[in-house]
């Protein structure tokens, strides 16, 4: 198959002290005490966080959603289109981002200009949509009300540096180990494995990972389900032409020895460098990874070196 290659995207501007950042909840419901702790942390960085109107909502019929689809979509779109807002930070993941992607006015959001989007897990659906619809670099990183963010200084510091001083994190270092050794160049992309599989065939997702350095992680999925998602991506041809693979955390996905064997078996045949335990996703001290930036992966060193800082 001939696929369009993953290309570099437009980098939003870095944040300056006093920057206004909006916190939204595109997916699951948010505990108020964790939200307040996250807001305090952001204020401590010299930022001015504002909370979207429906962040603390809970859907009447589906309590796994933070309010109605229309309200969650409106919060995200209004924050993005507000000229006083410089960045949009997701409060948490869970489930629900896919339900709002088709409700967003992408023309209006494109007209609002480039801004910073931060999140991971279920926010994978938004990373894909922002890449395809807006052509923007986004940050796969900790979320404002995430317990892993609130309790971990490393996660906090790397996100803070990426937002405010991105030139200081041109090299992203991990304790990762090479499943398949080697170096590779490509454009970073990816996210939560189950979401990437679920996005196949939708109009708001990339049609291929060709030319990319693909970041994969997941949480709470039994090994056979991970097998299903990887097999789906392989059968769909989505992994053809990928340049390298970075594997993050696999919390509550079964014994890691079994998960590791599956990842090696399903991905080893791609003939590209693969690094495991890179330290992003659902784990303590999760690294912030800029999607849409060209970089070089050194699987044996456990490093990714960005061609340019994540933000301008």
In angstroms, rounded to a whole number, what is the distance separating the alpha carbons of residues 174 and 171? 10
Short-list 235, 134, 252, 128, CA closest to 191: 128
Phi, psi for 92 (deg, rounded to 5): -165, 175
Q: Count Cβ atoms within 10 A of the Cβ of residue 44 and give its class: 0-12 exposed, 13-18 middle, 19 or more buried.
A: exposed
Torsional sign, CA 129, 133, 134, 135:
positive
The span from the CA of 196 to the CA of 277, in Å, is: 19
Q: What is the DSSP letter of 83?
A: T
d(CA 127, CA 291): 8
* CATH entry 3.40.50.300 includes domain 171-306: no
Parse the chain into domains and list their residue ranges: 20-169, 171-306
d(CA 236, CA 123): 22
Which spans in the chain are helix H?
Answer: 32-44, 69-81, 97-101, 106-111, 124-129, 147-150, 153-164, 193-198, 223-235, 256-267
Q: List the end-to-end C-alpha distance of the chain, in Å, as a whole number.
A: 35
pLDDT at 100: 98
What is the CATH superfamily name and number for domain 20-169? Answer: Murein tetrapeptidase LD-carboxypeptidase, N-terminal domain (3.40.50.10740)
Going residue by residue through the chain, which has 312 residues, state the pLDDT in tens, using 9 for 90 and above: 566 789 999 999 999 999 999 999 999 999 999 999 999 999 999 999 999 999 999 999 999 999 999 999 999 999 999 999 999 999 999 999 999 999 999 999 999 999 999 999 999 999 999 999 999 999 999 999 998 899 999 999 999 999 999 999 999 999 999 999 999 999 999 999 999 999 999 999 999 999 999 999 999 999 999 999 999 999 999 999 999 999 999 999 999 999 999 999 999 999 999 999 999 999 999 999 999 999 999 999 999 999 999 999
Q: What is the pLDDT of residue 4?
A: 77
* Per-residue pLDDT, 147: 87
pLDDT for 148? 86
Name the residues annotated as catalytic: 121, 217, 282
Domains 20-169 and 171-306 share a fold: no
CB atoms within 10 A of CB 90: 28
Tell me whether strands 116-119 and 87-90 are parallel, antiparallel or unpaired.
parallel
């Amino acid at each position: 198959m001939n696929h369009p290659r993953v290309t570099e995207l437009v980098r939003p501007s870095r944040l300056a002290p006093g920057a206004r950042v909006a916190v939204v909840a595109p997916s699951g419901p948010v505990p108020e005490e964790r939200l307040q702790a996250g807001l305090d942390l952001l204020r401590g960085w010299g930022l001015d966080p504002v909370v979207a109107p429906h962040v603390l909502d809970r859907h009447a019929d589906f309590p796994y959603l933070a309010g109605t689809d229309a309200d969650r979509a409106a919060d995200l779109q209004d924050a993005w289109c507000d000229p006083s807002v410089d960045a949009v930070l997701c409060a948490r993941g869970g489930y629900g981002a896919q339900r709002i992607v088709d409700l967003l006015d992408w023309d209006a959001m494109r007209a609002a200009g480039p801004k910073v989007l931060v999140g991971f897990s279920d926010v994978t659906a938004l990373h894909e949509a922002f890449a395809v619809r807006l052509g923007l670099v986004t940050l796969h990183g900790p979320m404002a009300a995430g317990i892993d963010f609130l309790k971990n200084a490393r996660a906090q510091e790397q996100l803070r540096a990426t937002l405010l001083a991105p030139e200081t994190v041109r090299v992203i270092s991990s304790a990762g180990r090479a499943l398949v050794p080697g170096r590779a160049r490509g454009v970073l992309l990816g996210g939560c494995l189950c979401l990437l599989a679920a996005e196949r065939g939708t109009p708001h997702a990339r049609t291929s990972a060709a030319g990319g350095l693909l970041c994969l992680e997941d949480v709470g999925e039994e090994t056979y389900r991970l097998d299903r998602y990887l097999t789906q991506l392989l059968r769909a041809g989505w992994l053809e032409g990928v340049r390298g693979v970075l594997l993050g955390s696999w919390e509550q996905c079964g014994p890691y020895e079994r998960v590791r064997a599956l990842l090696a078996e399903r991905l080893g045949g791609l003939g590209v460098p693969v690094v495991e335990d890179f330290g992003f996703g659902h784990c303590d001290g999760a690294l912030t990874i800029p999607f849409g930036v060209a970089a070089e992966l050194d699987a044996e060193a456990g490093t990714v070196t960005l061609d340019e800082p994540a933000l301008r």
